[in-house]
Amino acid sequence: MVVELKEYTDLASQLEAMERDGYLYFPGVLNSDEIAELRKCMDETEPIAENRDSYSTSEGGQLLGKFQGGGFFLKHIKVAFNRSPVFLKYIDRSPLIELAEAMHGEDCHIIGSTAWITGEGRPDQQLHSDWVPVPLPADVLADSRVKLPIFATTAFYYLDDVTEELGPTKIIPGSHKSGRVPGDDTTWNGQEAQSILCNAGDVVIFRSEIWHRGSRSTSKDNRYLLQVFYANRMVTQKFPPYPHGFRLNKEILAQATPRQLRLLGHHEGGVYD
């Protein structure tokens, strides 16, 4: 099955869709030059072990990182915004940043960013949620009076035309209202996971609670994907190396705009500061 990708152009409708469906689709955010620039930057960026980057090849086993097994090409670069000004540009890309600030507050920030290349043979993932901040019974969440804040989201910048062979992300629309992680379940509310099939340059953003998984790639082509993770200010930023090794790249600091600096953690003082 394939996810229905419907475009909502006004902010009010976008917020309604995130509340109702748990995800949102933005077609044609990137042009061909931007796609090519991002892919080139991903190819040229080398993994760093202390950053918790991952790397494996199709010829050998796992060389670096947490993804076990190897046997397929993988490059997963953490804190991508700190590796190149090319990646930095996309932490506040319109129209995603306007939505992020409407969902998470005008003082929101990013909690991470990854550049991700995967090749043929990448296996199916188990259905999972990234984070369920407020576990609740599903009947409570079904009550129209109950509206949970959106604490964290992930924006997926697709740099390929995504087919079933390329190993698309699969989601269960509305499953953020399950109030729990999927565990061993493969369906929710009668629905199975559905493929996100879209074009290079499109963006899909979804809530941390939604049930989703990566799927097996049988294509000879690599899949290129940029992720940006947004959250409310009170959600901790997750920038390795831990616990105190992370430092912002001086080149990044020198050119970051005030909005980008805030997204990177340069906040005004608050109650817990």
- The tokens for 19 are 């509340």
Neighbours of 269 (CB within 10 A): 6
Question: What's the CA gap between 36 and 76, in Å, rounded?
Answer: 18
DSSP assignment letter at 75: E
Any idea of the CA torsion for 252, 49, 54, 208, to the nearest 10 degrees?
Answer: -60
User: Hey, CA dihedral for 245, 69, 230, 204, is it positive or negative?
Assistant: positive
At residue 1, the pLDDT reads: 94
pLDDT digits (tens, 9 = 90+) for 15-72: 999 999 999 999 999 999 999 999 999 999 999 999 999 998 887 665 666 655 568 8
At residue 71, the pLDDT reads: 80
DSSP assignment letter at 256: -
Number of domain units in the chain: 1
Peptide bond before 85: cis, by omega within 30 degrees of 0? no
Tell me, yes or no, whether 119 lies in a domain.
Answer: yes
- The tokens for 189 are 């509310």
Tell me, yes or no, whether 1 lies in a domain.
Answer: no
Is 141:179 a contact under the CB 8 Å cutoff? Answer: yes
- The tokens for 11 are 């902010």
Question: What's the CA gap between 74 and 76, in Å, rounded?
Answer: 6
Neighbours of 227 (CB within 10 A): 16
Q: Share the mean pLDDT of the chain.
A: 95
Is 64:53 a contact under the CB 8 Å cutoff? Answer: yes
Domain boundaries, position 186: 11-263
What percent of the chain clears pLDDT 90, i.e. is strictly above it?
A: 91
DSSP-assigned states of every residue in 177-220: GG-S--TT--EETTEE-EE----TT-EEEEETTS-EE------S
For residue 238, with 0-12 CB atoms within 10 Å meaning exposed, 13-18 middle and 19 or more buried, which class applies? Answer: middle
At residue 69, the pLDDT reads: 56
Tell me, yes or no, whether 250 lies in a domain.
Answer: yes
Tell me, yes or no, whether 117 lies in a domain.
Answer: yes
Residues 6+ away with beta carbon under 8 Å from 52: 65, 66, 78, 240, 241
- The tokens for 137 are 């019974």
Helix or strand run (H / E) with residue 229: strand 223-231
Residues in the chain: 273
Tell me, yes or no, whether 188 lies in a domain.
Answer: yes
Site of tokens 């005008």: 106
- The tokens for 56 are 């494996």
- In angstroms, how far is the first alpha carbon of the chain from the final one? 47
CATH number reported for the structural domain that contains residue 175 in this entry: 2.60.120.620
Which stretches in the chain have pLDDT values below 70? 60-70
pTM of the entire predicted model: 0.96
Tell me, yes or no, whether 270 lies in a domain.
Answer: no
At residue 67, the pLDDT reads: 57
Tell me, yes or no, whether 268 lies in a domain.
Answer: no
Tell me, yes or no, whether 272 lies in a domain.
Answer: no
